[in-house]
A and B are shown apart, each in its own frame.
Chain A
Amino acid sequence: MDSVSDLKSKEIKRATLNELVEYVSTNRGVIVESAYSDIVKMISANIFRTLPPSDNPDFDPEEDEPTLEASWPHIQLVYEFFLRFLESPDFQPSIAKRYIDQKFVQQLLELFDSEDPRERDFLKTVLHRIYGKFLGLRAFIRKQINNIFLRFIYETEHFNGVAELLEILGSIINGFALPLKAEHKQFLMKVLIPMHTAKGLALFHAQLAYCVVQFLEKDTTLTEPVIRGLLKFWPKTCSQKEVMFLGEIEEILDVIEPTQFKKIEEPLFKQISKCVSSSHFQVAERALYFWNNEYILSLIEENIDKILPIMFGSLYKISKEHWNPTIVALVYNVLKTLMEMNGKLFDDLTSSYKAERQREKKKELEREELWKKLEELKLKKALEKQNSAYNMHSILSNTNDE
């Protein structure tokens, strides 16, 4: 498909498509039963294609300009026409479902990998309409999206249309019936949560977080597993992602029920305490902003006995040593707020702080000692074994590999 040859024919095609679009959107009663087959055939012939390899093998969606589809001038019109067709008041899903079937949807979904954002935008609307009008295809569409996501997470880590698909899901989740089916919960825990590990999270994090929060608004009992899941995948080295995670946690805390909060406060605040003392000031700052949130503040106050001991150590420490003056100022405010919540506990913690640290140092030494003894024990055992003429040669060579 060469985009520069045969310009005259291309122009004719474009004009015809334009005419078609015009025709279906202005006239009534023109979508007759016999036309469905040809319409779907025309659409399939034009938009279904194997997407070409990316021009830029190291394409970074955040940095690089996407390669735009060369045949867009007419493909756009085909999409346009498809959309008018689907949205036409004359459109009858009961007839169309003979042609718009699983195979059709499957091919449509593959196109979401297109590098051209204009195409993905059309696809998003098209798929949303199809999901709305074809009840029989809904489960199938969800399952295929599921597969695309799993492949994205665990196999290729590359799919251009993740954000668009999530956006569609966001609106679908809203309509799930209660109680949630096992299938939907599984999707949340086994697909959406692991998606947080993706390298290009920044590209679709807003949509992803929206989906997660939608789930939690539907069913609050999911809060605990979701937060534990996020904690499991908490970024270790990528500060940018850490800030996103913190944002998502805040969104979740905004809708959390106090009973659910009690279940996760300990692990959650241990993580927050680490974030607060991050040497990357944006991470620390984002975590400290939690204390500006009225609702979170009220949750903290209710559970101050649990939370203060977790937070105290790192807050105390960074108030003394963080390099960034803004952070230090924020920490002072937070410490002040916490002190007002429970002054006595605060004083106790301050006075025991040093002793606690000493004890930890001692434990560290003990641990080293343990390993050393173990090492000796291993040697001793190995000798015994050798003496008893048991051939341990292979095992020893195994252990020596370390």
Chain B
Amino acid sequence: MNHCPCFFRLKKGHGGSFRFLSQPIFWISDLQLPRRGPGGGRHQPIRVWVHPPRRNRTSGLSPASLGAGRGLGAKPAAATSRRRKNMAGAAGPGTGAGAAGGDGDDSLYPIAVLIDELRNEDVQLRLNSIKKLSTIALALGVERTRTELLPFLTDTIYDEDEVLLALAEQLGNFTGLVGGPDFAHCLLPPLESLATVEETVVRDKAVESLRQISQEHTSVALEAHFVPLVKRLASGDWFTSRTSACGLFSVCYPRASNAIKAEIRQHFRSLCSDDTPMVRRAAAAKLGEFAKVLELDSVKSEIVPLFTNLASDEQDSVRLLAVEACVSIAQLLSQEDLEALVMPILRQAAEDKSWRVRYMVADKFSELQKAVGPKITQDDLIPAFQNLLKDCEAEVRAAAAHKVKELCENLPIEGRETIIMDQILPFIKELVSDTNQHVKSALASVIMGLSTILGKENTIEHLLPLFLAQLKDECPEVRLNIISNLDCVNEVIGIRQLSQSLLPAIVELAEDAKWRVRLAIIEYMPLLAGQLGVEFFDEKLNSLCMAWLVDHVYAIREAATNNLMKLVQKFGIEWAQNTIVPKVLVMANDPNYLHRMTTLFCINVLSEACGQEITTKQMLPIVLKMAGDQVANVRFNVAKSLQKIGPILDTDALQEEVKPVLQKLGQDEDMDVKYFAQEAMSVVVQRLRKLDLPVKDCDEPSAPGADKNHFLRPRGPGEDAGKEGAAVRGGQSPCRAQVERLESSEASYILVAGSVAPNVPSSSSSLS
């Protein structure tokens, strides 16, 4: 239900212009804490590295923001710069003593870095440093993590939500870093603050981490530190802390003493009747979980009344959460108690005036069914389900339709058939011609599953007409859902019964104007092929599969290529050789270069399935011939194909046929062709070398290793290699730009290669 509304905001905050926050607190004074234990005196007090936050960070993503936010006038105070100098002497890079890394200096290092980074104006950099918190803690050692790092973090909790989210997540795994379970409570103060912030995502993460840590507490520490925290949160002023508290009761209750348990229950009770609906929602959401850890008596005496209240809350958003809790509570009670305490409320929920509540009942129907057992299901739930199937809101009907199969499966086998035939099927028949397509498509996605339950005769007599009607439905989604579940029916009655209706449906979907529909039907082709058999397939469907190869949408051509491979795996090499391969190879002469490339893509996936012989004899010559294609895209795809099929070929073919062609392509005038030829060459050479064959020309200047560097080096540290590559390619021929967009894999390769390279020189140069 409660999707975090701000998730996107959090996710997308990595580029573009930044919002910047009020600065984290600056610690001008030395951060010095008393230290005990052996070697304590050895450390120097930590000097906080104070200098004005750095300006002018480029984000990399937005070159346009370069230079934004420069503050040329901000001059560090005299004291500040002095301290900074000290620090540089102690730990800064590039200065003699610091770089030598004496023991005392090392220990200053991590926290200085962290603090410096946490102040950075660039959110991304602050985020990076928080994400490396465990590195910092590990370097600091457990004691200093506890005495210095954690207090620092507790005080800096005043940052952008994204940073806080990362912090909340990190702290959940911190127990080992602060010295194990005995010290786990040190992590509570920062997490407590995080559990009270406004942003839901941060709060939820903090609660998650708290729950994790609670398990690592000793029983004593749990009562001494964790429970008081829960109580503080539960009685917080602002609703955020109270909502967070709701998620913590169930983790501390089982291990608390009886007196404390009573207090915890008391707190939970008051949150269930909080006057902020947000808190009641949180409590209702956790009611089931809490009920599970309570003693049965308390469940009856306390949880049930709370449940009753929440289920009749004035806000439907609270009532619907009570339905969820109902599942857990029902599992705990005896049939008698269920009937007396829970069922009246569940009946009421199934007829709630708000469709959201009814939707929830439909959505949780299988869980409810399992929780209340067969008797109540038959008496109460089946009639309720019938009502949901004919609800006035389509949302509710669709949710109920989704559950039809599960409901039927979970009925007791004895008498199941009668119940389904008499009490469920009539309603399903109605739904097949529902006015709402979501309802029909929900039903279509599960209805085939009924055939296994009802057996052959009933399926043929009652279900088959429904399937056939749905195969003719005007909405493609309905038809697709039927086709995608054909396997269920196949087991029971065999697919022949359907094939006459199936074929027109498939053909129509295969030619649908929406490419996503076409894509979906392609995905089911291997399945259909398996069930219809090779003859039927060759006769009716083969031509469709070939037609997709020249579809005008790349995604379809790509899917069609993969489809061929799966078909070959199903029908075998011989079939491939006779029916598929010739047709694919003919396309190598197509006037449209996109179709010529499709040949290459097909060869890439088919070669493996077809084996060495076909690949060498039939495919390789075609690929080699295409090396002379006039379109560069085709040529560099030849190089890629050769690299791909290389492992399947024998060494003679590699040495005699592939290598010369790659060498020629390596001299191509187009830089991309050159690049991929050299890539392929390096793989081929490696393979030949592995096979211990003499490699004559590996020392030539055009040897792949050297050339690769040569190719990458011009993209200097500051440049975006990916962009540059794209720009160059885009500039050469307009039609290629179009293809490049589709072939993102190469672009990302270059990007990776380019971004690795700059690190190499910088490691040595900046230190001296």
Render A202-237 as a binary contact track against B, CB cut-off 8 A, 1 for contact: 000000000000000000000000001001111111
Question: A375 touching B135 by the CB < 8 A rule?
Answer: yes
Question: A242 touching B17 by the CB < 8 A rule?
Answer: yes
Interface-side segment among B63-71, B474-482, B631-639: B63-71
B6, B15, B277, B354: the one within 8 Å of A197 (CB): B6
The chain B residue with its CB closest to the CB of A106 is B314
Q: Which residues of A contact B199 (CB under 8 A)?
A: 154
Q: Given known contacts A147-B277, A279-B62, A314-B69, is B314 in contact with A232 (CB within 8 Å)? A: no
Tell me if A394 counts as interface (CB < 8 A to partner B). yes
Question: A50 touching B20 by the CB < 8 A rule?
Answer: no
**Complex alpha-carbon distance, A313 and B73, angstroms:** 11
Interface-side segment among B106-114, B496-504, B535-543, B704-712: B106-114
**Complex alpha-carbon distance, A308 and B469, angstroms:** 74
Q: Which residues of A contact B16 (CB under 8 A)?
A: 236-237
Interface centre among B17, B23, B54, B74 (most CB of A within 10 A): B17
**Complex alpha-carbon distance, A154 and B4, angstroms:** 7
A interface majority secondary structure: helix
CB distance from A205 to the nearest CB of B (A): 16
A53, A199, A271, A402: the one within 8 Å of B20 (CB): A271
CB distance from B525 to the nearest CB of A (A): 30
**Complex alpha-carbon distance, A151 and B200, angstroms:** 11
Tell me if B278 counts as interface (CB < 8 A to partner A). yes
**Complex alpha-carbon distance, A371 and B2, angstroms:** 39
A106, A231, A314, A352: the one within 8 Å of B68 (CB): A314
**Complex alpha-carbon distance, A65 and B278, angstroms:** 31
Render B12-36 as a binary contact track against A, CB cut-off 8 A, 1 for contact: 1111111111110000000000000
Interface-side segment among B136-144, B427-435, B724-732: B136-144
Interface positions of B from 231 to 286, Cβ below 8 Å from A: 238-239, 276-278, 281
B2, B71, B160: the one within 8 Å of A270 (CB): B71
Tell me if A332 counts as interface (CB < 8 A to partner B). no
**Complex alpha-carbon distance, A373 and B95, angstroms:** 13
**Complex alpha-carbon distance, A228 and B314, angstroms:** 37
Tell me if A368 counts as interface (CB < 8 A to partner B). yes
**Complex alpha-carbon distance, A398 and B9, angstroms:** 27
Render A308-346 as a binary contact track against B, CB cut-off 8 A, 1 for contact: 111011101100000000000000000000000000010
Q: Given known contacts A190-B198, A190-B238, A365-B766, is B110 in contact with A377 (CB within 8 Å)? A: yes
Interface positions of A from 42 to 98, Cβ below 8 Å from B: 50, 52-53
Tell me if B131 counts as interface (CB < 8 A to partner A). yes
B94, B121, B198: the one within 8 Å of A366 (CB): B94
Q: Which residues of B contact A277 (CB under 8 A)?
A: 64-65, 67-68
The chain B residue with its CB closest to the CB of A191 is B198
Q: Which residues of A contact B744 (CB under 8 A)?
A: none
Q: Which residues of B contact A352 (CB under 8 A)?
A: 72
CB distance from A298 to the nearest CB of B (A): 21
Tell me if B719 counts as interface (CB < 8 A to partner A). no
**Complex alpha-carbon distance, A151 and B141, angstroms:** 43
Q: Which residues of A contact B353 (CB under 8 A)?
A: 50
Tell me if A139 counts as interface (CB < 8 A to partner B). no
**Complex alpha-carbon distance, A231 and B200, angstroms:** 20
Question: B113 touching A374 by the CB < 8 A rule?
Answer: yes
Q: Which range holds the interface residue count of chain A?
A: 35 or more
Q: Which residues of A contact B18 (CB under 8 A)?
A: 234, 236, 274
Render B385-407 as a binary contact track against A, CB cut-off 8 A, 1 for contact: 00000000111000000000000
CB distance from A279 to the nearest CB of B (A): 3
Render B74-94 as a binary contact track against A, CB cut-off 8 A, 1 for contact: 100000000000000000111
A228, A235, A373: the one within 8 Å of B101 (CB): A373
**Number of A-B contacts defined by CB within 8 Å:** 213
Q: Given known contacts A197-B9, A198-B5, A313-B72, is B139 in contact with A232 (CB within 8 Å)? A: no
The chain B residue with its CB closest to the CB of A274 is B68
Q: Which residues of A contact B57 (CB under 8 A)?
A: 364
Question: A392 touching B176 by the CB < 8 A rule?
Answer: yes
CB distance from B483 to the nearest CB of A (A): 24
Tell me if B56 counts as interface (CB < 8 A to partner A). yes
B17, B56, B278, B395: the one within 8 Å of A275 (CB): B17
Question: B67 touching A313 by the CB < 8 A rule?
Answer: yes
**Complex alpha-carbon distance, A13 and B310, angstroms:** 37
**Complex alpha-carbon distance, A278 and B69, angstroms:** 11
Tell me if B134 counts as interface (CB < 8 A to partner A). yes
Interface centre among B12, B71, B238, B763 (most CB of A within 10 A): B71
Render B528-566 as a binary contact track against A, CB cut-off 8 A, 1 for contact: 000000000000000000000000000000000000000
Question: A398 touching B176 by the CB < 8 A rule?
Answer: yes
Interface positions of A from 272 to 288, Cβ below 8 Å from B: 273-275, 277-279, 283
Question: B160 touching A232 by the CB < 8 A rule?
Answer: yes
CB distance from B99 to the nearest CB of A (A): 8
**Complex alpha-carbon distance, A363 and B65, angstroms:** 18
Tell me if B132 counts as interface (CB < 8 A to partner A). yes
A199, A228, A402: the one within 8 Å of B22 (CB): A228
**Complex alpha-carbon distance, A267 and B132, angstroms:** 28
Q: Which residues of B contact A312 (CB under 8 A)?
A: 70, 72
**Complex alpha-carbon distance, A129 and B583, angstroms:** 77
CB distance from B606 to the nearest CB of A (A): 39
Q: Given known contacts A360-B54, A372-B763, is B20 in contact with A305 (CB within 8 Å)? A: no
Q: Which residues of A contact B348 (CB under 8 A)?
A: none
Question: B766 touching A366 by the CB < 8 A rule?
Answer: yes
**Complex alpha-carbon distance, A91 and B249, angstroms:** 51
Render A355-399 as a binary contact track against B, CB cut-off 8 A, 1 for contact: 011001001111111111111011011100000000010110011
CB distance from A195 to the nearest CB of B (A): 11
Q: Which residues of B contact A292 (CB under 8 A)?
A: none
Q: Which residues of B contact A317 (CB under 8 A)?
A: 66-67
Question: A363 touching B54 by the CB < 8 A rule?
Answer: yes
Q: Which residues of B contact A53 (CB under 8 A)?
A: 355, 393-395
Q: Given known contacts A308-B73, A313-B70, is B5 in contact with A155 (CB within 8 Å)? A: yes
Question: A147 touching B276 by the CB < 8 A rule?
Answer: yes
Q: Which residues of A contact B70 (CB under 8 A)?
A: 273, 309-310, 312-314, 356
Question: A402 touching B134 by the CB < 8 A rule?
Answer: yes
**Complex alpha-carbon distance, A375 and B113, angstroms:** 11
Tell me if B177 counts as interface (CB < 8 A to partner A). yes
Q: Given known contacts A274-B69, A314-B69, is B393 in contact with A52 (CB within 8 Å)? A: yes
The chain A residue with its CB closest to the CB of B62 is A279
Question: B355 touching A52 by the CB < 8 A rule?
Answer: yes
Question: A153 touching B5 by the CB < 8 A rule?
Answer: yes
Question: B141 touching A150 by the CB < 8 A rule?
Answer: no
**Complex alpha-carbon distance, A366 and B767, angstroms:** 8
Tell me if B55 counts as interface (CB < 8 A to partner A). yes
Tell me if B173 counts as interface (CB < 8 A to partner A). yes
**Complex alpha-carbon distance, A306 and B21, angstroms:** 19
A279, A371, A381: the one within 8 Å of B113 (CB): A371
Interface centre among A232, A306, A316 (most CB of B within 10 A): A232
A/B interface sample: 16 pairs, CB < 8 A: A50-B355, A154-B4, A156-B3, A231-B20, A234-B18, A236-B13, A242-B17, A267-B20, A274-B17, A313-B69, A314-B68, A352-B72, A360-B54, A360-B56, A363-B54, A375-B135
User: Chain B: residues with CB nearer than 8 A to chain A?
Assistant: 2-6, 8-9, 12-23, 54-57, 62, 64-74, 92-94, 101, 106, 109-110, 113, 116-117, 121, 125, 131-132, 134-136, 138-139, 141, 160, 173, 176-177, 198-200, 238-239, 276-278, 281, 314, 316-317, 353-356, 393-395, 762-763, 766-767
| Beyond known contacts A50-B356, A155-B200, A378-B139: 8 more, CB 8 A cutoff | A50-B354, A154-B5, A267-B23, A274-B68, A317-B66, A349-B72, A366-B766, A371-B113
User: Chain A: residues with CB nearer than 8 A to chain B?
Assistant: 50, 52-53, 103, 106, 147, 150-157, 190, 194, 197-199, 228, 231-237, 242, 267, 270-271, 273-275, 277-279, 283, 305-306, 308-310, 312-314, 316-317, 345, 349, 352-353, 356-357, 360, 363-375, 377-378, 380-382, 392, 394-395, 398-399, 401-402
Task: Return the 6 tightest CB-CB contacts between A and B, nearest first.
Answer: A309-B73, A313-B70, A234-B19, A157-B5, A279-B64, A395-B176
